[in-house]
């Protein structure tokens, strides 16, 4: 007998090319069946709602209590429908062990981290105190980064590095060069943050390798990926051609409607939609992954594609083919989404407003094949 059946929802799983109204069953922590008239011990009527693979947020900060920017993954999961949080370098070699023991291991939802190249991680990030962890090169020790990444190789996805005027100050692009050397030593990818210059966009993008991730990829001017005339910059096109992954990472200052409209008009979709949710952006304009997904829906990206960019593509970016799918026999995780019509006010990171007609909300989460309803 199935443990759980979600009945009559629109099952959208781009990994299987699936988009139909049907039932989905879970048993023993896995997806057991997809089809009509399924029975189970716990039957939930989700008619009129969307059932997607468990959402994966590729850029979050969830080292709650150990860093000033961290939010609680469980609370965000209950309201925002995310089942896998990728922590984008909140912890560095000096405090990663605490992140693992006190947050990752006890968490009811999956947390997979990038290791920050800076020894203390992102240590001074709030509305009143903001100090870039890479603005002082004394805080970077490549040997320590390699040691800690190897010690936690079962968890560490790659190396995170933040460069730009806010994150690296006078250090410029040097922290990225060290991060790339560490990543090469470990045979891991880099996730690179870029804010305002210096360094310039080209200095960063030209260094990235196949499988590396450029987050904040649709940031507003300056360092935007598209020119004012609507043409995508040559280094951006070259990076995509060689396999660099483009991740939204909305956050508090890293997503522009103007940039996004230009990129979409040029036929350049991001590879992944992510929120960059942290202690500031959770209050707006990012809020959570579903809000960021809603913005793309309102900008004309169809629902199956929006789901693909937040599930299967995110899983591919971290080389976890077991996630982001509802294939029978796979991990028993799903997000139930309600698509609401109306008039909704959205904002980007520089204050531009957009009134959209659609909003995606979490109507429930399945974890380990069991119903995990939002609080």
- The annotation status of 61 as a binding-site residue, yes or no, is yes
- The annotation status of 101 as a binding-site residue, yes or no, is no
pLDDT, tens digit, 9 for 90 and up, residues 319-361: 999 999 999 999 999 999 999 999 999 999 999 999 999 999 9
Q: What is the DSSP string of 177-226?
A: HHHHHHHHHHT--EEEEE-SSSSPHHHHHTT--TT-EE-STTPPSSS-SB
Question: Between the CA of residue 252 and those of 4, 162, 178, 239, 248, what are the distances in Å?
Answer: 38, 15, 26, 25, 12
Q: Which band of pLDDT confidence, cut at 50, 70 and 90, is reported for residue 374? A: low
- The annotation status of 160 as a binding-site residue, yes or no, is yes
What rounded mean pLDDT belongs to the chain? Answer: 97
Q: What distance in Å separates the CA atoms of residue 263 and residue 261, rounded to the nearest whole number? A: 6
- The annotation status of 278 as a binding-site residue, yes or no, is no
CATH class assigned to 55-317: alpha beta
pLDDT, tens digit, 9 for 90 and up, residues 11-28: 999 999 999 999 999 999
Instruction: Say yes or no: do domains 2-52+330-340+357-372 and 55-317 share a fold.
Output: no
**pTM over the 0.75 mark:** yes
Q: Which band of pLDDT confidence, cut at 50, 70 and 90, is reported for residue 70? A: very high
- The annotation status of 345 as a binding-site residue, yes or no, is no
Q: Which tokens hold the place of 14? A: 């781009």
Question: Between the CA of residue 357 and those of 194, 221, 290, 299, what are the distances in Å?
Answer: 31, 27, 15, 10
pLDDT, mean of residues 92-98? 98
CB 192 within 8 A of CB 163: yes
- The annotation status of 102 as a binding-site residue, yes or no, is no
Q: Which residues pair with 27 in a beta bridge?
A: 30
- Domain regions of the chain by residue span: 2-52+330-340+357-372, 55-317
pLDDT at 144: 98
Q: Which tokens hold the place of 11? A: 């099952």
CATH fold group of domain 2-52+330-340+357-372: Urease, subunit C; domain 1 (2.30.40)
Q: Which residues pair with 60 in a beta bridge?
A: 87, 277
Q: Please report how many Cα atoms fall inside a 13 Å half-sphere around the Cα of residue 360, on the Cβ side.
A: 28
Closest CA to 220 of 191, 256, 186: 256
Q: Which tokens hold the place of 70? A: 């961290």
């Amino acid at each position: 007998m199935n443990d759980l059946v979600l009945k009559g929802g629109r099952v959208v799983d781009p990994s299987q090319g699936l988009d139909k109204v049907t039932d989905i069953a879970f048993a023993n922590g896995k997806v057991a069946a997809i089809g009509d008239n399924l029975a189970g011990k716990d039957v939930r009527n989700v008619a009129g709602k969307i059932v997607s693979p468990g959402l994966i947020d590729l850029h979050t900060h969830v080292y709650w209590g150990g860093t000033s920017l961290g939010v609680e993954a469980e609370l965000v999961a209950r309201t925002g429908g995310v089942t896998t949080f990728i922590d984008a370098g909140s912890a560095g070699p000096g405090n990663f062990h605490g992140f693992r023991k006190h947050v990752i291991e006890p968490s009811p939802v999956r947390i997979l981290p990038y290791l920050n190249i800076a020894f203390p991680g992102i240590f001074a990030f709030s509305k009143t105190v903001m100090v870039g962890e890479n603005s002082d090169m004394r805080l970077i020790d490549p040997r320590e980064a390699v040691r800690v990444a190897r010690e936690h190789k079962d968890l560490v996805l790659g190396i995170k590095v933040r460069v730009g005027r806010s994150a690296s100050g006078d250090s410029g692009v040097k922290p990225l060069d060290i991060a790339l050397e560490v990543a090469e030593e470990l045979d891991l990818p880099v996730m690179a943050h870029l804010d305002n210059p210096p360094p310039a966009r080209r200095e960063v993008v030209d260094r990235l390798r196949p499988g590396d991730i450029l987050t904040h990829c649709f940031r507003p001017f300056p360092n935007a990926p598209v020119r004012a005339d609507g043409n995508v910059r040559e280094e951006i096109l070259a990076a995509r051609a060689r396999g660099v992954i483009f991740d939204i990472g909305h956050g508090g200052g890293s997503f522009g409607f103007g940039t996004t409209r230009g990129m979409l008009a040029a036929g350049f979709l991001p590879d992944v939609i992510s929120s960059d949710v942290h202690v500031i952006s959770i209050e707006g304009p990012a809020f959570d992954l579903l809000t960021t997904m809603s913005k793309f829906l309102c900008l004309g990206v169809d629902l199956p594609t929006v789901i693909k960019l937040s599930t299967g593509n995110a899983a591919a970016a971290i080389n976890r083919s077991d996630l982001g799918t509802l294939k029978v026999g796979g991990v028993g995780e799903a997000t139930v989404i309600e698509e609401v019509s109306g008039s909704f006010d959205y904002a980007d990171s520089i204050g531009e407003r957009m009134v959209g007609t659609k909003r995606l909300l979490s109507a429930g989460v399945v974890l380990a094949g069991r119903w995990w309803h939002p609080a």
